[in-house]
Structure 1
Amino acid sequence: MIRDHSGNWGMDIGHWDWVPGVGLIAMLDYYEAAGNPEVLFYLQGWVEQNKEKAKGTKVINSIAPFAIFPALSRLQDDVWYRDEAIRIAEWMINEAPRTRERAFEHTVTENAVFSEQVWADTIFMAVLFLARTASLVRSTKYAEEALEQVLIHLNVLQDKSSGVLFHGWNCDSADHMSAARWTRANAWVAAGIPLIVKELAPLVPIPDELTMRYEHLITGLIGYQQKDGLWSTVMDQPEFYREVSGSAGIGYGIRKAMDLGLIARDDRNQAAADQALAAVLSFISEDGVVSGVSGGTPVMRSIAAYQEIPQYPTLYGQGLVLMLLAETCRDLGE
């Protein structure tokens, strides 16, 4: 992840956007599990080298790198990280575009506009940062906003029958567009919600609705897990290719949620997490490259179009697998 991949969109960590952001979040997760001081040193250096790049147009999808700032503020006792986190949190609450249902509109750095669209990705890319900043500064205002965003996203994206999530929701047309049950969208929420709840629980009550919806999500996801332990890139299309980043993110989410008591540590949940881990390991090469990862994916025009997304190594693929491995080490006490 930290090698020079300049110019390679999927693996280039030297720019400010969601792709390197997921990589950084994963590195911090690994540091917190393993305590390797070299990782912390790298994260500090990355911020110093790239912080000027954050001064461009603020969009929801490029908030992700800021999610490491609250931890760096605590670990380094550095008020600069704290002040920057507050600045971005205030922008999110007061200025970030919202849909008519008050969800953060999923804005991106690319030359594309998704007006009135709600994407599952936002939970991990932006709401996680807001929850961590709420915890850092003990702000119930930030905490309540983060909690509201989680509930809004679940309300508009969750399929009531299966419990899993659609990729996106269009507030203009009041539909889920192509209505794809895209695996990585589900991974962003499966992995993000336990991390968010961990930050918010000391500040605001976590409503039963959130817990019940999350349990319904995990039950639904396990129902779509294939016999090989992975999920297809669109999970209710078993003939579609298996997608490793989403599978790793779901496996991580199940493990993290069990550790936090958000879901039960029962045989079904444990078996699903173990099967996902075993399957993902086979996609890691000897030099650490994770294969089987689908490229950047907006809400596609049709379900069939998701099968056309190419696969190649990415920082978010590396990152979600790293998080799964780090969480497994926590479970094993290693």
Structure 2
Amino acid sequence: MTSIIKHGKKEAQEIIERVIGQLKHLQGGAVEEKCPIGIISMENWEWPQGVGLFSLYLYYRKTQRTEIKQYLIDWFDRRIAEGLPYKNVNTMCPMLTLSFLAEETGREDFMSLCREWAEYAAAEMPRTEEGGIQHVVSGHLNEGELWDDTLYMTVLFVSRMGLLLQEQRYIDEGIYQFLLHLKYLTDRRTGLLFHGWTFNGRHHFAEALWARGNSWYTAGIVDYLELVQLPKPVERLLLSALEQQAAKLAELQASDGMWHTLLDDPSSYTETSATAAFAYGILKAVRKGFLPEAYRNIGAKAYAAVVSRIDSEGVVQGVSYGTGMGRTLQAYRDIPVCPMPYGQSMALLMLIEGLEH
């Protein structure tokens, strides 16, 4: 089997180091921040930082490099000392990494926070009709709305805490949220996911098949299946959804290996964070036996495309800024592009997975 890493593992490791260096030191200023909590600098507590932290934790787990673990511990200590933001879907994201650190360090202050936030997510977080987790974010209640981002930002953490605390209702809640989100967000024509659904009017907003939103499922499902032992019929359904999605992604992949920010719209720009997350999810799914070997080439092509967009300093280029629910397709085409923590982190996850192939 030919390695997907074009120039060898030593060069891949060097790229990884540069990407990590830039992830730690990203600062705002590239675009005007529109979110109440800044989502560019790693010194804030929001979902992009949460994604970045998790990628660093997985790299630590693979390499056992203690300085990475210490960076993560110090990051949480600083944020806790500053005071945490209010609990919502997106601010839940850093808690996934904290749950691993709490277990590994034995620190009760970390574990206490994890218990508190998990119980809030499972029992108190606002719900839509049918008990879906309402996509409440900093500054917006989004009443009655389900978004595909929620599964990655909140449900992975709740499920992880179910395993850690042996709390079956958390595990059951995670299963229910995955199934309910697939029920309402799946585009049956393509197997892709719409960005969102609202029970207030019962529609899919602009009917956007948004790349990064789809990639949260592709990347998230392979990690979810590592976190929780699912009933076989549930696992079968979730993997069936993944293969449906992957089949359409193979059809829509651009000639250079990228995917467009609106997956079915070649006039929209190609977007690097989604392409990296697709590459990560597809390659890992093939390695785990979740997808047929034939998909490996799709992931490898995407891997090479993302590497070509990492500059000599380790900055991942071509990443779209945080994207709220678009009421028109043009809104997605108009999202500005700038380096972001999740661009760095999804490229990092992809690069780490590439070492396995």
Using the size of structure 1 for normalisation, the TM-score is 0.93
Do the aligned residues in 1 keep the contact of 2:126 with 2:133 (CA within 8 Å)? Answer: yes
Instruction: Find the counterpart in structure 2 of residue 5 from structure 1.
Output: 27
Match of 2:54 among 20, 25, 28: 25
Q: Measured at CA, do residues 223 and 4 of structure 1 come closer, stay the same or move farther in structure 2, by a change above 3 Å?
A: closer
Letter in 2 for 1:141: R
Match of 1:43 among 58, 63, 72: 72
Instruction: Find the counterpart in structure 1 of residue 290 from structure 2.
Output: 262
SS in 1 for 2:146: strand
Deviation at 1:34, TM superposition (A): 2.5
Deviation at 1:320, TM superposition (A): 0.7
Per-residue deviation, residues 258-291 of structure 1 (Å, max 9, x unmatched): 2333222x12x10011000000001111111111
C-alpha distance in structure 2 between counterparts of 1:259 and 1:271, whole Å: 12
Using the size of structure 2 for normalisation, the TM-score is 0.87
C-alpha distance in structure 1 between counterparts of 2:194 and 2:40, whole Å: 27
SS in 2 for 1:313: coil
1:135-150 to 2 correspondences below 5 Å: 135-150=163-178
Identical aligned residues as a percent: 32
Letter in 1 for 2:56: M
Letter in 2 for 1:232: H
Per-residue deviation, residues 285-318 of structure 1 (Å, max 9, x unmatched): 1111111001111111211221111100000111
Match of 2:221 among 174, 187, 193: 193
Do the aligned residues in 1 keep the contact of 2:39 with 2:47 (CA within 8 Å)? Answer: no
Instruction: Find the counterpart in structure 1 of residue 199 from structure 2.
Output: 171
Q: Measured at CA, do residues 272 and 122 of structure 1 come closer, stay the same or move farther in structure 2, by a change above 3 Å?
A: same
Greater mean deviation of Cα atoms: 254-263 or 118-127: 254-263
The answer as to 2:316 corresponding to 1:251 is no
Deviation at 1:7, TM superposition (A): 6.6
Do the aligned residues in 2 keep the contact of 1:166 with 1:181 (CA within 8 Å)? Answer: yes
Do the aligned residues in 2 keep the contact of 1:241 with 1:307 (CA within 8 Å)? Answer: yes
Deviation at 1:205, TM superposition (A): 4.5
Letter in 2 for 1:171: F
Instruction: Find the counterpart in structure 2 of residue 107 from structure 1.
Output: 136
The answer as to 2:144 corresponding to 1:116 is yes
Deviation at 1:227, TM superposition (A): 1.2
Per-residue deviation, residues 56-101 of structure 1 (Å, max 9, x unmatched): 3211111001010221123213333222212111101110001102
C-alpha distance in structure 1 between counterparts of 2:165 and 2:226, whole Å: 15
Per-residue deviation, residues 93-131 of structure 1 (Å, max 9, x unmatched): 11000110211111111x233111111111111111112
SS in 2 for 1:50: helix
Do the aligned residues in 2 keep the contact of 1:134 with 1:199 (CA within 8 Å)? Answer: no
Q: Measured at CA, do residues 10 and 83 of structure 1 come closer, stay the same or move farther in structure 2, by a change above 3 Å?
A: closer
**What are the ranges of 5 or more consecutive residues in structure 2 without an aligned counterpart?**
1-22, 31-37
1:1-334 to 2 correspondences below 5 Å: 1-3=23-25, 5=27, 9-53=38-82, 55-109=84-138, 111-201=139-229, 204-205=231-232, 207=234, 208-264=236-292, 266-267=293-294, 269-329=295-355, 331-332=356-357
C-alpha distance in structure 2 between counterparts of 1:175 and 1:222, whole Å: 27
Q: Pick 1 or 2: higher relative contact order, CA cutoff 8 A, min separation 6.
A: 2
Instruction: Find the counterpart in structure 1 of residue 18 from structure 2.
Output: none
Q: How many aligned residue pairs are there? A: 327
SS in 1 for 2:197: strand
Do the aligned residues in 1 keep the contact of 2:285 with 2:291 (CA within 8 Å)? Answer: yes
Greater mean deviation of Cα atoms: 271-280 or 35-44: 35-44
C-alpha distance in structure 1 between counterparts of 2:148 and 2:81, whole Å: 28
CA RMSD of aligned residues (A): 1.7
SS in 1 for 2:131: coil
C-alpha distance in structure 1 between counterparts of 2:111 and 2:289, whole Å: 29
Do the aligned residues in 1 keep the contact of 2:259 with 2:275 (CA within 8 Å)? Answer: yes
Do the aligned residues in 1 keep the contact of 2:26 with 2:340 (CA within 8 Å)? Answer: no
**Runs of 4+ off more than 4 Å:** 203-206
Deviation at 1:175, TM superposition (A): 1.0
C-alpha distance in structure 1 between counterparts of 2:233 and 2:43, whole Å: 37
Greater mean deviation of Cα atoms: 52-61 or 300-309: 52-61
Letter in 2 for 1:294: S
Per-residue deviation, residues 9-67 of structure 1 (Å, max 9, x unmatched): 44311111112111111111221222222111100000000024553321111100101
C-alpha distance in structure 2 between counterparts of 1:4 and 1:272, whole Å: 30
